[in-house]
Amino acid sequence: MSTGHLREPPYWALLETAHTFGRRDGHAAARFEPHGPVDPPSTHCRGRDPAAFARLLWRDRPGDPPSGLEANAPLWYARGFAEGLAAERRWADRRRTVAAAGTGSPRHTR
């Protein structure tokens, strides 16, 4: 019986999860990554090769992860990483600017 509600395919939700992991890792990496452009994305995500990263995302679902997840999740992760790194760097720059001006604390708007 259909309720008329469309469910988001798990594949898209898993790609969003890969993006979120990347964004979080990018925020954390801003403390130690050198400034400048981000190197070309690695195929490794959270220390895992693409197949292992797809299995991490797939978790306990039956069967193997779709091949598209193995191919695309690292790209989504890399995009999230770059976004998170850039956002955290902008926030750090604002904190330094406000501290130098002695005007209090910046408003946090990521």
Residue 51 lies in a domain: yes
pLDDT in tens, 19-40: 999 999 999 998 888 787 777 7
Could you write out the DSSP letters of every residue in 32-91? TSPSSSPPSPPS-BTTB-HHHHHHHHHTT-SSPPPHHHHHHHHHHHHHHHHHHHHHHHHH
Q: Give the pLDDT of residue 58.
A: 94
pLDDT in tens, 85-101: 999 998 887 887 887 88
Indicate the number of domains in the chain: 1
> What's this model's pTM, rounded to 2 decimal places?
0.77
Residue 1 lies in a domain: no
Residue 14 lies in a domain: yes
- Secondary structure element (H or E) that encloses residue 31, with its range: none
Is the pLDDT assigned to residue 13 strictly greater than 60? yes
Q: Give the pLDDT of residue 101.
A: 81
Q: Name the token pair of 24.
A: 């979080």
> Where in the sequence is the domain holding 23, given as residue range(s)?
10-32+41-99
Residue 64 lies in a domain: yes
Residue 84 lies in a domain: yes
